[in-house]
Structure 1
């Protein structure tokens, strides 16, 4: 530095100190330009809703503000003008008072208000949110170097069950095989998957570990949590419709119905294999059948004649799931009806039958043509006194009596024959 320059600087300092009355003057720092008044912040919103990012800037002065999508640097807006072609996106602007700052003009004593300190707010609106809107968004000021604040948008998505190979369709297996029902769901956050039976019954799950007796126990669950529902050595009572339910606290929850069918050959049970009835009464025979798939059921007399529904015989059945209850009502029992009857059930996996033997109970000295309301029901060779309207009862034969004394007379005759010795 030359001696002349040093002299100039020294004179400048002296003059400055003298003008201030001998006191050192601290000058006000020059404005620092635009600054962000607050962070942009992150947003979380459900799909289909609206998200709003807020960018507040102090001292914007001559500079411009723009919104950009961070991942691909797509410009969405410049200052208060939207430039993207996406009609779901818009920008709004408002100015707010941050408090004007008074400036000192020296000895003139006059005050003037500047824009320094005022806050401008730019809001980015994204309506009808889609999953593709999940990204970060930048509020940028065209200073040099550029200044920016960033906020990220997370989109919540309700659960949806994935169809196809990842979720089970209706399943049919043979009894004793293993079966697995699977259900996969998507969503954000990741959905929770649970299973319930459609009929409200508990879910039976066989534990893979065996008990001390070597037989794995069945545990009962009102609800089973998990995407896979596994059945080891499946049984017929595990057959049914199961509901896969997916939820993640973003409504609505969704469900899918999956049917598990367990195939097995028919099995027939006869509750009363030996039935006796007096002549002239109606006799009802019944059989219980368990089978799947559905069976063809019929009745045989004396192992040869197939019985048909008509004036003499009334044939009906009641089906509930894999269970069937078969009834045969023989009207006006005669000597020709004495003999053997078979209930037969058959499906694609096999055939089964039950045998019932019907015999005559001889009752002497009783008027069978009486019309009194008192009657006696004889079921399986045993007698049961009853009073009523004379309606037929399941599994027995009925005959009307004139008086209560006749009922007592019949009991005295029959009970010694069947009382265990």
Structure 2
């Protein structure tokens, strides 16, 4: 009875571990969940107030399928302010979250058999969305010694006559790594030369630490900008994951096609959430920096503690709010033959929920979110250490 496209999907590893952690909590266990991909802060008060005002003023009706013009203007102003990029309203679509923007984009540009280059590790939904659009994900393996970044040589080896697009995610989920301007320039020029569409997922752009800064590949040259579709949203930057507002910006023909698709799927993003997003971009931005500083403090503390654990090594990330340690040796020391089983054992015995890296195309790693309090993070690391100690002494 099911369509082939659905039968071929791989279940989300993130949602699976979250569901199991929830079940254990419902059974009365004290579970520390570090699988969440969302800020633990509430949406800023000024945004909440604007949403309330919109409801009271009756802005609860349908909006244009591609989003409110006033929100498109706010997004355009954000691009001018942050990246010195100019996009007209016709080059922007507002979607029901950045995930929906990606999904709609793949549906709009991919034909059967088109190949999309996806560096590993990758966010879990990239390959599944490509497959749903009839495309073929082609994975470019990256390595820890190169900070999980692709190189021109690895790009050259992956490109075929069927290559249509590449997905870049900087800062990265799950690794937290960031491409430098020089690295992006090389990738951008290569894609222009080979007519490869660049899909730049920049959802974590505001969460960058230490001396690093986010660079949008579209700001490097006009030729690269023409070849790029930027995906972004307010979920991570303004703690608005549940509001489901994301967007895409780029070639107006692609944006027009995406808007047509949206008109037959979602009709429009939620009106109230759109008015909230207008305030997110036009209102006070100081809270964005406050959250970034809080995440950086957590990172600096929890990273130093985690790497003291036997068998765990980890590159220190430069952005987002994840650690992506290599735990393959830890799994072996604890008597498990795979990291997936180690993660499962950690949840069963220590009641700490991590996400296995296999769901991100990296079977030797696990993802740990530090989007929770320092107290919870400290308790989690202590449990991980005790778990390892008990397993190694068993």
TM tier, shorter chain? under 0.3
Q: Name the larger-Rg structure.
A: 1
Between Structure 1 and Structure 2, the one with more strand by share is 1
Between Structure 1 and Structure 2, the one with more helix by share is 2
Alignment TM-score, normalising by the size of structure 2? 0.19
